[in-house]
Chain A
Amino acid sequence: MNSVLRAIWRAILAVYNFFVGDAVILIGVSLTMVVLAMINFLGGLASLRGASGAILIVGVVATLLFTLGREVFRPENRQPT
């Protein structure tokens, strides 16, 4: 059973690494899409629909900024003295 679970987990990891391999990018893009879906489908947020394009672009840029920021602040990337 354990070996089956391990194989499934390895398969999931392989798919994840193939498509993205970076949790910040996955979460950032997913969150942006969820926000856009809410704006598109919830009547209460209909007034924001005109800004959907800008929200999408800001979400993408913010995701890139966060994932690069994480690399910059890694301990391995501290300034050599």
Chain B
Amino acid sequence: MQWAIVIAAFLASAVEFVEAFTLVLVAGITTNWRSAILGALGAAAVLAVIVATLGVALVTYVPIEVLRFVVGFLLLLFGLKWLKNAIQRYTGLKLIHDEQAAYEANLAEARARGEPAKTGLDTFGVLLSFKSVLLEGLEVAFIVISFGGSGAGGIGNAALGALGAGVLVIAVGALVQAPLKRIPENSLKFVVGIMLTTFGTFWGGESFGINWPFADLFLLILAALYLVVSGLLITGIRLRLPRLVKARATSPATTLVPEKGVQQ
């Protein structure tokens, strides 16, 4: 068992599952659970086909060095994006992503359509659920293929991590019946950003023949290094923009840097 891959895939996938679950919850409450669950299951089936075909083809036909380069490159892009957004939220450059607010906004938007709850299949409910699960699930699929494609038996370990995250999020969501607001989402995203960047650097380097000191243990050193650098950046930005941070902390309605349509 490659625990580093299982844990990394678990954490990264958990974030995506939380986002997808929030929208499935909205679809279920505003239309009906039958439509929401059907949409989610349809998306899950499409995702299964994507993972089965792309995952197997990648591991079977592409040389490991090429795979490591592509995976390392993409993980670095993903990781730096997540890390940047998490640091921006810690420093007040961007609002902390609030699943409760997102849930309420989506709920209000859905209710504004003025349609009463139906017991039969509802197109909007099915599509909302399908779209959210497919989009977030694609990110999970990418995480599984990326983490899994760089070592023997990796796909299985990464899939196990993602599956564990999915089961946990669904179980917790079903138990509390709320938009999972208690999960410290930005902290989770920050940790995931560090891990993705760490793995991206490690595998990207290996594709160029770099022999990292202490072999796989260097992953911990890299993670610690990126953690320290991120901590210094957060401190530096907070020192540079203390009034901005204070203003945004006390006034959620303050003008924010637009998200540019990027989903994490």
Contact = CB atoms under 8 A, between A and B. Distances in A.
Contacts of A80: 243-244, 247
A68 B73 contact: no
Given A19-B74, A33-B73, A60-B201, A77 B241 contact: yes
Contacts of B247: 80
B113 interface: no
Nearest to A49: B209
B156 to A, nearest CB: 24
Contacts of A67: 80, 84
Give the bracket for the number of chain B residues in contact with chain A.
35 or more
Nearest to B74: A19
Interface stretch (B31-39, B56-64, B147-155, B255-263): B255-263
Given A21-B81, A60-B80, A60-B197, A68 B237 contact: yes
A76 B73 CA distance: 31
A52 B74 CA distance: 19
B197 A20 contact: no
B93 interface: yes
A22 B83 CA distance: 12
B241 A64 contact: no
Contacts of B260: 17, 21
A76 B77 contact: no
A56 B260 CA distance: 28
Interface string A4-47: 00000000000001111110011011000100110110000000
Interface residues of A, number: 35
A2 interface: no
A22 B233 contact: no
B243 A68 contact: no
B240 interface: yes
A12 B138 CA distance: 16
Contacts of A57: 201, 222, 225
Nearest to A26: B77
Interface string B78-93: 1011011001100001
Contacts of A21: 81, 260-262
A13 B261 CA distance: 10
A16 to B, nearest CB: 9
B262 A17 contact: yes
B217 to A, nearest CB: 14
Given A19-B74, A64-B230, 11 more contacts: A36-B205, A53-B205, A56-B210, A60-B197, A60-B200, A63-B80, A68-B233, A68-B237, A72-B93, A77-B241, A77-B257
9 contacts: A19-B77, A53-B210, A64-B230, A68-B84, A72-B93, A76-B256, A77-B93, A77-B244, A77-B257
The 8 closest A-B pairs by CB, nearest first: A21-B262, A20-B77, A25-B80, A53-B210, A40-B208, A36-B208, A29-B76, A52-B210
Interface of A: 17-22, 25-26, 28-29, 33, 36-37, 39-40, 49, 52-53, 56-57, 60-61, 63-65, 67-68, 71-72, 74, 76-80
